[in-house]
Amino acid sequence: DTGVSQNPRHKITKRGQNVTFRCDPISEHNRLYWYRQTLGQGPEFLTYFQNEAQLEKSRLLSDRFSAERPKGSFSTLEIQRTEQGDSAMYLCASSLLLTGSNEKLFFGSGTQLSVL
Amino acid sequence: GDSVTQMEGPVTLSEEAFLTINCTYTATGYPSLFWYVQYPGEGLQLLLKATKADDKGSNKGFEATYRKETTSFHLEKGSVQVSDSAVYFCALGGTGGFKTIFGAGTRLFVKA
């Protein structure tokens, strides 16, 4: 069991640069979530996919954020023109959601973004 | 929209004390309810869950009961240990019609 893998673990960038994070979910999982977590707060929902379809994107998310899951497997989260307020831990989680069941999320270790 | 509200922390207890962490939710429909835990230096992991009204989830001595009438899912443990020190997150969702969303978390410190 390889678990949910996120890369990179840490990213330091200058304000205005673009960054891209990758998430590899557990292989048979059909749902994939992106969350953002800042110190002392709970994971804040950003977006999620069921297979390759992006089902919802948070209204709080600016247009600088985009996510893809092109083949229903790995996903990427891109932040364009980064701002200091984007500094946070970006968490990926996956789950296997079956009809009539409920969901257990498996989290990756996260990517810590620091925007200077 | 759907939301989860948790009691603010930190909560500091002595070993063997009784623990309650309050959680209430707002949702249209009937989501599943969860408690996740984040131990120091580790990722979030599921602690327990309940899928319908009056269900009780339990794990590692922790319990929570899904109360539809009070829209609550309070976490309890009868006798905490130092190893229970962590951040606890209440969450809802996780069925076909819901995404999983989290409360702000409650940090628990247990003193020996």
The pLDDT, as a whole number, for residue A61 is 82
Q: Residues A78-98: what's their mean pLDDT?
A: 93
Residue of A nearest to B104 (CA): A42
The pLDDT, as a whole number, for residue B42 is 85
The pLDDT, as a whole number, for residue A60 is 78
pLDDT category of residue B94 using cuts at 50, 70 and 90: low
The pLDDT, as a whole number, for residue A32 is 93
Give A112→chain B minimum CA distance, Å.
13
Cis peptide before A8 (omega within 30 of 0): yes
For chain B, the C-alpha Rg in angstroms (whole number) is 13
Q: Does B57 touch chain A (CB under 8 A)?
A: no
Residue type, A92: C
- Which DSSP category does A102 fall into? -
Proportion of chain A above pLDDT 70, given as a percent: 96
Q: For residue B36, what are the contacts with CB-CB under 8 A and spacing of at least 6?
A: A105, B44, B45, B46, B47, B88, B89, B91, B102
Catalogue the E-assigned strands of A1-116.
5-7, 10-13, 19-24, 31-37, 44-50, 53-57, 65-68, 75-79, 88-95, 106-107, 111-115
pLDDT category of residue B25 using cuts at 50, 70 and 90: very high
Residue labelled with tokens 């978390």:
B105
In the predicted structure, residue B97 carries a pLDDT above the cut 70: no
- Between residues 69 and 88 of chain A, which touch chain B (CB distance below 8 Å)? none
Q: What is the pLDDT of residues B26-66, one digit of tens each?
A: 988 888 899 999 998 888 999 999 988 999 999 999 999 99
The pLDDT, as a whole number, for residue B28 is 80
Residue of A nearest to B107 (CA): A40
Helix (H) / strand (E) element for B63: namely: strand B62-65
* Count of CA atoms in the C-beta half-sphere (13 A) of B59: 12
B60 or A97, which is more confident: B60
Most B CBs within 10 Å, among A48, A92, A103, A106, to test the B interface = A103
Most A CBs within 10 Å, among B3, B21, B37, B44, to test the A interface = B44
The pLDDT, as a whole number, for residue A99 is 67
The pLDDT, as a whole number, for residue A100 is 62
Q: What is the pLDDT of residues A34-80, one digit of tens each?
A: 999 998 888 999 999 999 999 989 887 889 999 999 988 999 999 99
Residue of B nearest to A56 (CA): B99
CB B70 within 8 A of CB B58: no
The pLDDT, as a whole number, for residue B2 is 84
Burial of B45 (0-12, 13-18, 19+ CB in 10 A): middle
Mean pLDDT score of chain A: 91
3-class state of residue B8 by DSSP: coil
The pLDDT, as a whole number, for residue A1 is 54
Handedness of CA A51, A59, B49, B59 (dihedral sign): positive
CA–CA separation, B90 vs B58, rounded Å? 14
